[in-house]
Amino acid sequence: MNIMIVGVGGQGTLLCSRLLGEAFVAMGREVKVSEVHGMSQRGGSVVTYVKCGDEVFSPLVERGEADLILAFEQLEAARWLPYLSPGGRMLVNTQIINPMPVITGAAQYPEGILDWLTANVPGSVTLDALKLAEEAGSPRAVNTVLVGAMVAVLNLPKDVFETALEKTVPPKFLKLNKIAFEKGFAAVSR
Amino acid sequence: MSKALFSGNEAVARGLFETGVSVVSSYPGTPSTEITESAAGYAEMYSEWAPNEKVAVEVALGASIGGARAFAGMKHVGLNVAADPLFTASYTGVNAGLVIAVADDQGLHSSQNEQDSRHWARSAKLPMLEPADSAECLAFTKFAYELSEEYDTPVLLRLSTRVSHSRSLVTAGERADIPLKPYEKNPRKYVMMPAMAKERHEFVEARTLRLAELAERTPLNTTEENVNAKIGVITAGIAYQYAKEALGNNASYLKLGMIAPLPEKVIRDFAARFRRVVVIEELDGVIETHCKALGIPVIGKELFGYTGEYSAGLIKEKLLGEKPVTREYPEQTPPRPPVLCPGCPHRGVFYVLNKLKLTVMGDIGCYTLGALAPLSALDVCVCMGASVSSLHGINTARGADFAKSAIAVLGDSTFIHSGITGIIDIAYNKGVSTVMVLDNSITGMTGHQQNPTTGLTIKGDPTSSVNLELLARACGFNRVRVIDPFDLSGAESVLKEELQVREPSFIIARRPCALLKTVKSNPPVFCDENACTGCKMCMKAGCPAISMKKTAGKSKAQIDKTLCTGCGVCEKICRFKALMAIDS
Ligand SMILES: Cc1ncc(C[n+]2csc(CCOP(=O)(O)OP(=O)(O)O)c2C)c(N)n1
């Protein structure tokens, strides 16, 4: 299975891919996770890849290969669409973060991304993860909300992810993250 | 131990731990940084951030001579800085094992160039190993120490962004008990002056021959035969993974784990079995050139090129003529370049530099992002420390009047790394340049490493810190000023004064990075839409929290509350008092 997690540097995509990696390991799969560090983490477009299967060679998911793209932001969903496989699905956080060229007026933020995706990519799911994270207690928990949603979308074993959460999240924030995870899971299961 | 996910960098650190390394000295640089951050987590190893890579390699060399297994890690351009000790350490050889990891950045994810560090191994006559995943990172690191001690040589370990930053399964082991080796004075080996160095050069050449023999039989170079293979692929490192992903059982592979020196017979034997032999290696054609020099017909660079990252897709396209089925979003998606964070202290400085229309000799760090629109504040950025010395150069070329509108800006870590020698040059040679250190109390760009100005060690323990004011004075700068980058008018007047004087000035713009845990943010600024005229002056700050929004046909500034840290820079730029702190 090939999963891409795309978003904006600083949104916490890294934690999300680590969590997925840990969960797949617990499920006894061969796993590779590819991360980005350095410059693009400063508010740039970021992408991490999680691949699992019997044997994984390249750590990268390439064009036309992603079974799921988890997008933390709308524009990033549109940008990375060419990476989706023909039968692949999208899980999109409805949040909008304007990139600098849009802020300065050098470019336009495309309108109607969500509608287009829902109409043209069968099985796409959208949710307002920021709102759910705030309800859970912190806007920073967006990533965990989205992990919860993804577990529901891909029908993955929930308990494995709960254990992975305990392994990756500092104890201080565990309760908050568990609530966020549940909210994401419930939002998509409905 | 059971299997666990390790990044390549974490696996190298684990390898250091397991093989009994006890001294680690590095300078941060993406994608190599986490090796040393991770090493610092093992109490058994002494780990430090050195002020630059040259110092790091010298510390590691000293430790090796002193009998301890030692390590230095850096990014590709870091090895340029450390090249001087590297070349002569090749002559001295080691006492206990010495390994230097160097991480290339194919695709320039976070670098100023895309050089291929394999050339350093060839020219310094050192063996170089290249792992292709995390398990190999651990195994090759351990092997490198055996190699180092057996052949009396420093060993280079070549990594790359995708190996360093990919996580894959690793079986970790226990730490070996490696006692400190005895140290004996041995000037013929360690005092490199002509008479002794001549002898050691003979040794180096003989060692290279022995290493070339090793390359023919080392288990690090493996062949993988597939019965249906129509082509033979010679490859190494991450490129092997791409090749294998793309070609699977349709090719046979010679995967080189030891990439310097390269074997001859192994390659000849492999190549002889195929009608078509393809070399798949990112960046320069090092293996390809070697093959061609041996008269072995191969292709590689003419298919795949010298720039950027390779991928399985590229290999499929070039060798199998296959292209993926993809769909596109119907509209253009605007790019999302990285930006200075909301609340970043560098922003105020660049706003003022722009206002004063200065020529800005830039440097490497978060503040390099000041080069992007709308700040567009930098004229030049080359390598760490170059801001200072190249300012002296341009001012010398264009004269004292030009110097009144030119400045160098560099970060605290960069200044310590290689800005100090530049300011000494300015003072000593009667220059008039104005140098500004952007002191945000951390090494920001590479992800928050401590440095000699921050007062904390890599482990977070309190330590001495460099006093930049006194340092500048000691170097011969009589004019030393400290400004607060959030105080725009104060910064402007100090800059104007210091640029006017016909002597060198040193300005420290001091305010900690907004992302530091110790920095508390203020309540967000809000926009009074009645007062806002839509003049867009605030947009010149290039803050991701500010945008323009149309309300009732008029365009007004709008602040994103979730991003704004209340730094107040926009408040000071606004001439209509439309942007205000919430509590006022
Ligand atoms: C020779 C060399 N070593 C390491 C790096 C990686 N690197 C880029 S910027 C930087 C340090 C930035 O820190 P600082 O100067 O304090 O500025 P900040 O990012 O905090 O604004 C480092 C280590 C490099 N580009 N060149």
Q: Which CATH architecture best describes the domain B525-581?
A: 2-Layer Sandwich (3.30)
Model pLDDT for residues B430-483, shown as the tens digit of each residue: 999 999 999 999 999 999 999 999 999 999 999 999 999 999 999 999 999 999
Q: pLDDT class for A10, splitting at 50, 70, 90?
A: confident
Query: What are the structural domains, with CATH classification, of chain A?
Result: 2-188 (3.40.920.10)
Which residue of B164, B347, B414, B515 sits with most ligand 1 atoms within 8 Å of its CB, as the best mutation to test the pocket? B414
Is B525-581 in the same CATH topology as B346-510?
no
Would you say the ipTM is above 0.90?
yes
Q: Is the per-residue pLDDT at B497 higher than 80? A: yes
Residue B319 and residue B387: Cα distance in Å, rounded?
A: 45
**At the topology level of CATH, where does B222-320 sit?**
Rossmann fold (3.40.50)
Q: For residues B199-219, give the mean pLDDT.
A: 98
The backbone torsions φ and ψ at residue B341, rounded to the nearest 5 degrees and listed phi first, read -65, 155
Q: How many CB pairs under 8 A join A and B?
A: 180
Query: Tokens for B521?
Result: 């943010």
B128-132, B290-294, B388-392, B553-557: the lowest-pLDDT one: B553-557
Model pLDDT for residues A54-79, shown as the tens digit of each residue: 999 999 999 999 999 999 999 999 99
* Subunit contact B539:A103, Cβ cutoff 8 A: yes
CA B479 to chain centre: 33
Residue-level pLDDT at B1: 62
DSSP string, B273-291: T-SEEEEE-SSS-HHHHHH
Residue B390 and residue B91: Cα distance in Å, rounded?
A: 33
Per the CB < 8 A criterion, the answer to whether B434 and B505 are in contact is yes
Cα–ligand 1 centroid distance for B341 (angstroms): 17
Mean pLDDT, chain A, as a whole number? 93
Residue-level pLDDT at B2: 79
Q: Which residue has the higher pLDDT, A105 or B347?
A: B347
Closest chain A residue to the Cα of B327, Cα to Cα: A82
**What percentage of residues in chain A have a pLDDT greater than 90?**
83
- Domain extents in chain B: 2-215, 222-320, 346-510, 525-581
Cα–ligand 1 centroid distance for B367 (angstroms): 10
| Ramachandran bin of B86, using left for φ above 0, alpha for ψ from -120 to 50, beta for the remaining angles | alpha
Is B2-215 assigned to CATH 3.40.50.970?
yes
Task: Tell me the residue ranges of DSSP E strands in B161-244.
Answer: 166-171, 222-224, 231-235
The backbone torsions φ and ψ at residue B89, rounded to the nearest 5 degrees and listed phi first, read -65, -25
Which chain B positions have a beta carbon within 8 Å of A86's beta carbon?
Answer: 325
Q: Is the per-residue pLDDT at B261 higher than 90? A: yes
Q: Is B51 in the pocket of ligand 1 (CB under 6 A)?
A: no
Q: For residues B35-57, give the mean pLDDT.
A: 98
Selected residues 111-130 of chain A with any CB under 8 Å from a CB in chain B:
113, 116, 120-121, 130
CATH of domain B346-510: 3.40.50.970
Q: Is the per-residue pLDDT at B427 higher than 80? A: yes
Q: pLDDT class for A42, splitting at 50, 70, 90?
A: confident
Q: pLDDT class for B583, splitting at 50, 70, 90?
A: low
Per the CB < 8 A criterion, the answer to whether B102 and B117 are in contact is yes
In this complex, the residue of A18, A59, A63 whose CB is nearest that of residue B313 is A63
* Subunit contact A38:B31, Cβ cutoff 8 A: yes
CA dihedral B572, B574, B579, B580 (to 10 degrees): 30
Cis-peptide, bond into residue B154, ω within 30° of zero: no
Model pLDDT for residues B348-357, shown as the tens digit of each residue: 999 999 999 9
Q: pLDDT class for A98, splitting at 50, 70, 90?
A: very high
Closest chain B residue to the Cα of A73, Cα to Cα: B336
Cα–ligand 1 centroid distance for A43 (angstroms): 18
Q: Which residue has the higher pLDDT, B14 or A14?
A: B14
Mean pLDDT, chain B, as a whole number? 97
Q: Is B364 in the pocket of ligand 1 (CB under 6 A)?
A: yes
Residue-level pLDDT at A115: 97
Residue-level pLDDT at A78: 98
Q: For residues B108-134, give the mean pLDDT.
A: 97
Residue-level pLDDT at B582: 74
